[in-house]
Structure 1
Amino acid sequence: MQALMKVAPGVGNVELREIPEPQPGPGEVLLEVKAAGICGTDLHIYDDEFRTQPPVVMGHEVSGRVVALGAGVFGVREGARVTTETYAATCGSCRLCRSGHRNLCAERRSIGSAVHGGFAKYLVVPATNLHELPPGISDEAGALTEPLACVAHAVLGAATVRAGETAVVAGPGAIGLLTLQVLKASGATVIVLGTDADEARLELARRLGAEHTLSVQREDAEALVREVTLDGLGADVVYECSGAGGAAAALLRLVRRRGRYVQIGLFGRPVAWDLDEVCYRELTVTGSNASTPEGWRSALALLRSGQVSTQVLVSNVYPLSAWAEAFTCFREKRGVKVLLKPGA
């Protein structure tokens, strides 16, 4: 089968290769991949800014159908429409694994970076990773369950927002627009920041419930945020979803004293950030890494209830053979979410 692989360390070194179709081992299932999302992490892998173990098939945002079961697998039916958690292996015994934080296990190996991922027609994953897609959720929408689980972990896992609060989201890409929807489901008033090139995405943010959208480049952004908060002191909580150092710096000016800063986006490199402001404002700063089982449960509940739509974010779908064009489309921010269809 054809697979899109990171074949060696270094910038680039991504290509289509023919590899054998995988077979499920004990406790594993074989999925036929129906849709796989291109994530910012995939661009970081291309740019050699994210650790991988090449040669490895990329892709970790997946929906598919179960086509074969390995030995000892029970409670999974062939033909089920599913999505999958991304961890191929964790140690299972460290404090983090035992407390439900497999995402932070030092021994974690994930699909798409350490073991073969979803940019291929077939994918093998542990049976315990599977989640059946809710009725009415398309294959394309189902592939976005993984980024939604990451957002649910970031927003809800640490209880970063409360109903009635004002939140600012920097970056109207897929992660930012999912964050917006989770915040709206939590009862927050939401302001979404983008650049002058993001007008179409900011319009989508308004359709998804954002009370205000602003260009982060506006000199009066700080005054406008203060104007729309109840006490004029700034946002209660801010979420950096763009992976842009300038946005991270801007958010420090928009959050109120004793407010909360949450980092969701990845920069791929060190960025300048004024830690003195964390002291002066007594800010609570949290980060979020990938997803947890609780994040997946929340994500699927939000999809099932209709409080979050992932389908509305799907803008571009390419066959696997057009992966280079798809990566360029994503890098140039044309549309919102770009998917590959390995079987097309």
Structure 2
Amino acid sequence: MSAMVLGRAGEPLALESRPIPKPGNHELLLEVAACGVCRTDLHVADGDIHGPLPIVPGHEIVGRVIEIGPEAGDFAIGDRVGVPWLGGTCGHCFFCLGGQENLCDAPTFTGFSRDGGFATHVVADSRYCFRLPESFGDVEAAPLLCAGLIGYRALKLADNAERLGFYGFGAAAHILAQLAVWQGRRVFAFTKSGDQKGQEFARSLGCEWAGSSNENAPEELDAAIIFAPVGPLVPLALKRVRKGGRVVCAGIHMSDIPGFPYEDLWGERSILSVANLTRTDGIEFLELAGKAPIRTQTTVFPLSKANEAWTDCEEENSKGGGSVALVPHVRFRPIADI
């Protein structure tokens, strides 16, 4: 098999040839059809978050089952499955037993603490894999596995907010905006100052208003979700939510949040963070994604161009846009995406 490997933070990925791994008891061996490139991958590469190295990154994996472990009975050879960031949990800590497996004390994460999908093959725990909506092609489905799933958890934490503000309009926001509009919510998009392209993109997906993060939306917000890893956006968003409103920080890493006056928090406003996902989140979101008119916009790179894909992902996130995906096997590439 071929894999793009991160040997040291801050260095480019290196193409390696490795033996194809064997699946363990609950595991599946997948031939990777597509793997999305996520902002979290950039944080791993830059050393913002620290895990064991070397590692094969990638946690928005779409693949087909080619070998099944003896206790991975829910799947068959040839099944198409999705592999998310959450690669496994202990199942017995306080959080796992309390229905909060996303906060597990001893989790494993795909592409961070176990090898991920920047490869032609990957082994994944079948208990943390998902079946994917048939309405999505392989490349289209890849961003659902993190941009969609983590975004959906952030949307759940925003509760029943009708007026939603999205700060940073990249991979996650472009999926969640479509879902929120379909649900009948009103979405207000905040982008970098002067980002006309990103604002037009947001309006094209049904956002009621789009402007700079330094501007005020036409109305107070019920909740704001911050997708950009920019700490100074937190006090800005806090000023724009109503009393009792929520600011949800959706990233795994964020720059420092500056100080702000207590009066901006007063009135039972709250600030929440999103940590990982639960399998229930995944089942719920993928069922909704199969019903809602969601379309992902993705730029495709071959596996060997993973370093270029990383650069493109960083640019897409900074200017507002869709997702980036690696396609190791040409025969699985949808013609429309070439």
Q: TM-score, normalised by structure 1?
A: 0.88
Deviations 1:244-268 (A, max 9, x none): 2332232122112221111113444
Amino acid corresponding to residue 11 of structure 1 in structure 2: G
Do 2:158 and 2:223's aligned partners in 1 also have CA atoms closer than 8 Å? no
2: distance between equivalents of 1:198 and 1:101?
38
Deviations 1:95-148 (A, max 9, x none): 211233222112011110001101001010111222222222100121122121
Matched with 1:249 is: 235
- 1:186 Cα offset (Å): 3.2
Matched with 1:121 is: 120
Residues 78-117 of structure 1 mapped to structure 2, 5 A cutoff = 78-117=77-116
Matched with 1:172 is: 169
Task: Give the ranges of 4+ consecutive aligned residues of structure 1 lying more than 6 Å apart after TM superposition.
Answer: none
Deviations 1:163-216 (A, max 9, x none): xx2111111101122232232233221100112453223222112110111112
1: distance between equivalents of 2:182 and 2:270?
23
1: distance between equivalents of 2:6 and 2:308?
16
> Structure 1's 236 and 297: CA in aligned 2 closer, same or farther, altered over 3 A?
same
Amino acid corresponding to residue 137 of structure 2 in structure 1: S
- 1:278 Cα offset (Å): 5.0
Do 1:154 and 1:288's aligned partners in 2 also have CA atoms closer than 8 Å? yes
- 1:90 Cα offset (Å): 1.6
Per mean C-alpha deviation after superposition, the further-off stretch among 21-30 and 98-107 is: 98-107
2: distance between equivalents of 1:92 and 1:285?
28
Amino acid corresponding to residue 189 of structure 2 in structure 1: V
Matched with 1:11 is: 10
Do 2:174 and 2:322's aligned partners in 1 also have CA atoms closer than 8 Å? no
> Sequence identity of aligned pairs in percent?
29
2: distance between equivalents of 1:250 and 1:98?
37
Amino acid corresponding to residue 134 of structure 2 in structure 1: P
Matched with 2:335 is: none
Instruction: Give the one of 164, 183, 188 matched to 2:180.
Output: 183
Amino acid corresponding to residue 155 of structure 1 in structure 2: L
2: distance between equivalents of 1:75 and 1:330?
34
Matched with 1:327 is: 310
- 1:238 Cα offset (Å): 0.9
Amino acid corresponding to residue 151 of structure 2 in structure 1: V
Matched with 1:274 is: 260
Gaps of at least 5 residues in structure 1 are: none
Deviations 1:1-56 (A, max 9, x none): 22122213x42253222222111111111111111111111111111001211111
Matched with 1:193 is: 190
> Structure 1's 280 and 88: CA in aligned 2 closer, same or farther, altered over 3 A?
closer
Residues 224-235 of structure 1 mapped to structure 2, 5 A cutoff = 225=217, 228-229=218-219, 234-235=220-221
Deviations 1:266-295 (A, max 9, x none): 444433242624543431221111211221
Do 2:62 and 2:82's aligned partners in 1 also have CA atoms closer than 8 Å? yes
Gaps of at least 5 residues in structure 2 are: 331-338
> Structure 1's 284 and 243: CA in aligned 2 closer, same or farther, altered over 3 A?
same
Do 1:151 and 1:179's aligned partners in 2 also have CA atoms closer than 8 Å? yes
Do 1:169 and 1:179's aligned partners in 2 also have CA atoms closer than 8 Å? no
- Paired residues, what number? 326
> Structure 1's 278 and 100: CA in aligned 2 closer, same or farther, altered over 3 A?
farther
2: distance between equivalents of 1:81 and 1:277?
51
2: distance between equivalents of 1:119 and 1:273?
39
Matched with 1:211 is: 208
